[in-house]
Chain A
Amino acid sequence: MPKRTQNSLSREEIASLFHTYKDNKDPVVKNVLVGAYMDLVHSLARRFANRGEPLDDLVQVASMGLLKAIDRFDPDRNVQFTTYAVPTIVGELRRHFRDRSSAIRLPRGLRERSYLIKNAVQGFSQENGRSPSISEIAAATGISEEEVIEGLEGSEATTIASLDTTTEEGDLSLLDIIGGEDQTLKLLDERLSLAGAMSELDLREQNLLYLRFIEGLSQTEIAERLDISQMHVSRLLRRTLQSLRQNLTSSSGKPYTS
């Protein structure tokens, strides 16, 4: 007897629906798939309950994640849909909390524009293997270049990037994935003769500096390697440089301008 999955559909039936949806993008088929996985949506949304957001809102956010997962899922790969969907839905929920917990609340329009820009940057970078220019972002999003620049700076202003935050599609924190101890990190320290100041940085922060300034990777390349957005890399680098600067000040015992 075929193993039954959610909503009384067998695995075979689900697989068949995914193939059908991949071929024709039929919204009726999509609705059936959504119905089949709503229990999963509720379950994941409940994990984030009691954090100040109504459960109904969280279910809506998680549902958005499910829709994205259905759209992006490739049934030809030998992977269970839930394996793909769970990180996507959890990522959507985390993004919801992250966006709502900005240190500075941006006007809704600017916030949406920043989100649009971020997606466009990610999409463009993946497609072309390089960072886009402002005009390319403007063309991709349909907003003006001035609004793109405003949106880029706006997004920088709101987020307190933490190396402890989890990545968009997993349970690992950025600290976990940036890397382990690397002897070549000493190069950075030796190059700068910054013993003391460097050692006060977290090992992963040192790695971030190493990737950018010794290995010479662009922010986009670092983003790809760490599976985070270029804008996130930009924020983390600025924060790490700020930490290094502060460490230098305190280690030298002199004011910054010494």
Chain B
Amino acid sequence: MSKIVHMATTAVASRVGLNIDQADDLNTGLDELLRLSASESSRDKPFCVRYDVHPDRLEVLAEDVNASFRDGTSKVSRYRRFILEKVADRFEEKTNQGGSLNVLMVKFLKG
């Protein structure tokens, strides 16, 4: 499954003019979120990734991420956040009305 996500992300990143380093950054961040979701034993929902292309940026949104991502106290959580901070130009968490969590990674387009 990760290969499909990687290929889709690389393809979209390429379309908006990001180079392979930047595409790989997004894939590294998505890997963390994907593993987090895949490790939920009770998960019966698909792992959804949304790509929003703006004139100045690419937004990659992982939807309905395991809420344990919010936990800022465990080492694993700190590690995961650190990686996302580093690979994305901006990253933020968005809590939905139903309480589920989306994680957004943004890469700004140069030029």
How does the 8 Å CB contact mask read for B23-42 relative to A, with 1 for contact and 0 for none? 11000100100011001100
The answer for the CA separation of A90 and B22 in the assembled complex, in Å, is 33
Contact of A192 among B3, B28, B82 (CB under 8 A): B82
| Count of interface residues, chain A, beta-carbon cutoff 8 Å | 44
Contact of A213 among B68, B74, B75, B82 (CB under 8 A): B82
Is B6's beta carbon under 8 Å from chain A?
Answer: yes
| Count of interface residues, chain B, beta-carbon cutoff 8 Å | 33
Interface of B: prevailing SS: helix
Min CB–CB distance B32 → chain A (angstroms):
8
Indicate whether A238 sits within 8 Å of B18 (C-beta atoms), given known contacts A244-B79, A251-B75, A254-B74.
no
How does the 8 Å CB contact mask read for A46-81 relative to B, with 1 for contact and 0 for none? 000000000000000000000000000000000000
Q: Which residues of B have CB within 8 Å of A254?
A: 74, 76
The answer for the CA separation of A191 and B83 in the assembled complex, in Å, is 12
For the A-B complex with A251-B75, A256-B35 known, give 18 more contacts whose Cβ atoms are closer than 8 Å. Answer: A121-B20, A133-B14, A135-B14, A150-B7, A153-B10, A192-B78, A192-B82, A194-B79, A213-B82, A216-B86, A218-B21, A234-B24, A241-B83, A252-B76, A257-B39, A257-B68, A257-B76, A258-B76
